Amino acid sequence: MNVKIALVTGANTGIGKEIALSFASKGIKVFIASRSYDKTLPVIQAIEKLHGAHKCEWLSLDLGSIKSIDRCADSFFGKNVSLDYLVNNAGFAGSRGSTKEGFELAFGVNYFGHYVLTRRLEYALIRSKNARVVNVSSKVHSIVKKLDFASLRKPTKSLSGINEYAVSKLANILFTSELHRRYASLGISSFAVHPGLVDTEIWRTLPFFLRPILKLKGMLTPEEGAKNVLQCAFLDASTHSGKYFSKCTPSAPSTLATDQELAIKLWEQSESWMNNYSK
């Protein structure tokens, strides 16, 4: 029997860690793609202790560097396996700056890096014949009223970085719907999910004066957030692919997030950027 394969970004901590542990508990081999092997090692050891050796492998990945993404994809292809589950989970909020290629930091890591990774892995996903791509989004996407493409190529402007974080999560929803439109016929299903407000390290760079507000809103545990994400990995694709989920419920995203012309424009612009910088 062929073993199912999952790749989870940022699974060294928080939601990603719990997702990786859950996949492994179902007999699925997990590849964890993250920046630090040392920080990921405890997760690998936990999985192997519970489920046996060779159930988890690490791939080096910096989503802020297209060269790193290309190397990660090459390393995965070297395993000569198909890819059944891709969970684009890694991300952060509150940091300011830009990526190595000059994209606004949150947009570059939370969305564009995952776009490039997904495209680089598309043949492994197609080989699965029933692949699932789950993009972690957020309900904060709804605060975005316009997608300013020029600002995506500039350093973070807002002091808190929350506006830019919201843009990146809007982009993930647009990406999900367009991925469905282009690839569903090839056996790739896609889902965008707001896991809830989860108490993880993603908020570690948020300005200190905003952190008490998050606590007051009532935060979920990483295990609870992971459950909301994992549901999408096992949903009936025929009725739910391309959709946005808030926690465990199919939900209507913002009007901007349902703009098909905008989704196409973002895809085509992202593809152009990818081709300009990759290999």
Answer yes or no: are the C-beta atoms of 207 and 159 closer than 8 Å: yes
Q: Which of 85, 111, 165, 183 is catalytic?
A: 165
Around Cβ 111, how many Cβ atoms within 10 Å?
29
Q: 69 CB contacts (<8 Å, ≥6 apart)?
A: 61, 62, 63, 113, 116, 117, 120, 278
10 Å CB burial of residue 136 (0-12, 13-18, 19+) is buried
Question: Residue 19: which of 193, 208, 266, 213 has the closest Cα?
Answer: 193
Please give the structure tokens belonging to residue 124.
Answer: 């492994």
Q: Catalytic annotation on 165? A: yes
Longest dimension (CA), the chain: 53
Residue ranges with strand state E in the chain:
5-9, 29-34, 56-60, 85-88, 131-136, 188-194, 243-246, 249-250
Phi, psi angles (nearest 5°) of residue 131: -85, 155
Token pair of 196 as six digits: 């809830």
- Active centre residues (catalytic): 165
